[in-house]
Amino acid sequence: MRKIEHIGIAVKNIEVAIKDYEKLLNTSCYKVEAVESEGVKTAFFQVGESKIELLEATNADSPIAKFLEKKGPGMHHIAYDVDAIEVEINRLENEGFQLIQSSPKDGADNKRIAFLHPKTTQGVLVELCQERTQ
């Protein structure tokens, strides 16, 4: 794992949250992107070498909708930047971690991603992400 790529924060209203975070971080949101397969709308901010990702649910079945229902707005996941996501998935499965996806899928912000179940990572949802090369 190379660095913390971003921290994901679940929000109820992304328009309001973008305004709050633009003030908090004193920088503009550089990208708003919907990921239909995940049922989320995302907004990204650069903070040094890492990013903040705000996530709003776009439908009632979205994992973000379920998270908000249970826990309310707040920190949702930590994403680590990796060089070779398949290699890292294999390594972590061999180490006994439970992957939510055992093969990477397309995520927001030009990434290939996979999630680890929080029950094997001390209660934190972990995302692996690798920059998509096209």
Contacts with Zn ion, residue ranges (CB under 5 A): 8, 53, 79, 127
The tokens 């030009």 sit on which residue? 110
Q: Which is nearer to Zn ion, 94 or 123 (CB)?
A: 123
| Distances 118 to 45, 84, 127 between C-alpha atoms, Å | 24, 22, 10
Comparing CA positions, the residue from 13, 26, 23 lying closest to residue 54 is 13
Instruction: Kindly state the smallest distance separating residue 127's Cβ from Zn ion, in Å.
Output: 5
State in angstroms the smallest separation of the CB of 50 from Zn ion: 11
Give me the least distance between CB of 12 and Zn ion, in Å please: 18
Nearer to Zn ion among residue 81 and residue 127 (C-beta): 127
* Beta carbon of residue 18, minimum distance to Zn ion (angstroms, whole number): 16
Residue nearest to Zn ion (CB): 8
Residue in 34, 110, 125, 43 with CA at minimum distance from that of residue 79: 125
Tell me the pairing of strands 50-57 and 40-47.
Answer: antiparallel
**Which of residues 37 and 94 has its CB atom nearest to Zn ion in the complex?**
37
Provide the 8-state DSSP code for 90: H
